[in-house]
Amino acid sequence: MALAVRENDIIGHAPNCILIRRDGIESAIEESAAPIHDRQGNVTGAVMVLHDVSVARAQSRKMAHQAQHDSLTDLPNRILLSDRLIQAMALAQRYKKQLAVLFLDVDRFKHINDSLGHSIGDRLLQSVAERLLTCVRASDTVSRQGGDEFVILLSEITRPEDAAISAGRILLALSAPHRIDQHELYLTVSIGIAIYPEDGAEPEALLKNADFAMYDAKESCRNTYKFFKAEMNSRALERQWLENDLRLAMAREEFVLHYQPKLNLATGATIGVEALIRWHHPVRGLVPPIQFIPIAENCGFIVPIGRWVLREACRQARAWQDMGLPPMCIAVNISAVELRARDFVAGVRAILTETGIDPRYLELELTETFLMQDLESTAAVLRSLKDMGVQLALDDFGTGYSSLSYLKRFPIDTLKIDRSFVRDLTTDADDASIVNAVISMGNSLHMQVVAEGVETREQLAFLKQQGCPEAQGYYFSHPLAAGELVQFLERSILETSRN
């Protein structure tokens, strides 16, 4: 007020003023003072005006927070992460320290959204965010980049192994079931790690390289972490090339199915085949499934590709029957993304009707990891398929959770022993014990057991001795084109009749 009198002018006071009332309550105010004049224009005093701006300031703080935080998880967004990363890199450079960026992606998150709805998906992301915060220090930053992608900034590390320890802690924390309403969801994540300054001197380069490493983790086996390496850049470009051409492959009819026979070990008869997709690229030649299936899953192509595989396999099975060959079971691999599609069961029913295949001759192969992702909805889908008459096989058995509880809970007809156990069963006592256990368990649970990847006479002899009922592998036949399989079946029928 004295200044207003002295200057004979309206004086605004410092911003962010706080008024403390007698009762101790604080209020945000804007304050100003104006001189009071007599009739002759002389300054005789001053008046102070106080405005309560608590609501306006709270709204301003809220808007500033929203501009820098993700609306779903309330984690820092790209903008705030970029600011903190720049500051952290400046400090690391000044004090000759290291920092790490972890790029995290939730595996197969899209099919959860597609099958259970975005509300469940959003709450699952909130659960992920809460667990990530428990895995880092207060000085670190957990950020959501959008969708199912998160970035963790470890502001200071002593050595790269510190980042690996944090990544391992994250994998463990997120692996426990996420309970949302009646759903018990199991997640895996893929994590890429980039270290400053070795893997990038600029924020954009560091984030991009962590992203490359994440994709490498996703393509290798998921539910793991990978450190960035220079060669990942070229692989990322290769992946982009494949994705672009994959968009056109179906329209150009570049996919084809090959069929690997499955034999009854007691009689030697061919009792079924497994349909395996191949991509004949016009320039690159044969592209193996391991190169394009993960890309198809990530970019949303796997559902139409899977639908084509199922229809083509059933059409071919019907064509063989029309040729006079005896009916046999045809197995088709189904990805988690396909099975969680809302219209999957209806699509299977439509294809069976369209092709005229008896449902008992169709076997859908599932993986252990998928079964554990959402027990309730998975059980409902599998029951619908069983009610239809379709056979269900558990592929790569022993490599995932291998829980006896879900073998009891789900209507599984067949266990397929993973080739990794069959490969060394004649030289590795542990693998031999696992194979024996699966065969015994299958018999006890009245399930068929199929050994995959049989390549030698010694492996075959061991499986026969242990009473394994069925097998497939290169020892019997490589996957064959449809015409080649007809010749194989005719020879098989002839040899079986002679015996």
Q: Are residues 257 and 110 in the same domain?
A: no
Q: What's the CATH code of the domain at 40?
A: 3.30.450.20
Q: Are residues 260 and 407 in the same domain?
A: yes
Q: Are residues 220 and 255 in the same domain?
A: no
| 176 lies in some domain | yes
Position 496 scores a pLDDT of 64
Average pLDDT over residues 206-231: 87
Which carries the bigger pLDDT value, residue 402 or residue 299? 299
Position 403 scores a pLDDT of 56
Measured in whole angstroms, how far is the alpha carbon of residue 356 from the centre of its chain? 35
**Range of lowest pLDDT (195-199, 248-252, 421-425, 461-465):** 248-252
Write out pLDDT tens, residues 96-123. 999 999 999 998 887 788 778 889 999 9
The model's confidence at residue 367, banded by pLDDT at 50, 70 and 90, is confident
Average pLDDT over residues 414-441: 91
Position 494 scores a pLDDT of 73
Position 8 scores a pLDDT of 63
Q: What's the CATH code of the domain at 163?
A: 3.30.70.270
Q: Are residues 121 and 43 in the same domain?
A: no
Average pLDDT over residues 320-335: 92
Position 75 scores a pLDDT of 96
| 237 lies in some domain | no
Write out pLDDT tens, residues 241-300. 788 888 888 888 899 999 999 999 999 999 999 999 999 988 888 888 888 887 887 777
Q: Are residues 95 and 175 in the same domain?
A: yes
Position 46 scores a pLDDT of 74
Q: Are residues 142 and 268 in the same domain?
A: no
Count of domains forming the chain? 3
Judged against a pLDDT cut of 70, whether residue 400 lies above it is answered with no
Task: Show the domain range for 10.
Answer: 2-59
Q: Are residues 193 and 292 in the same domain?
A: no
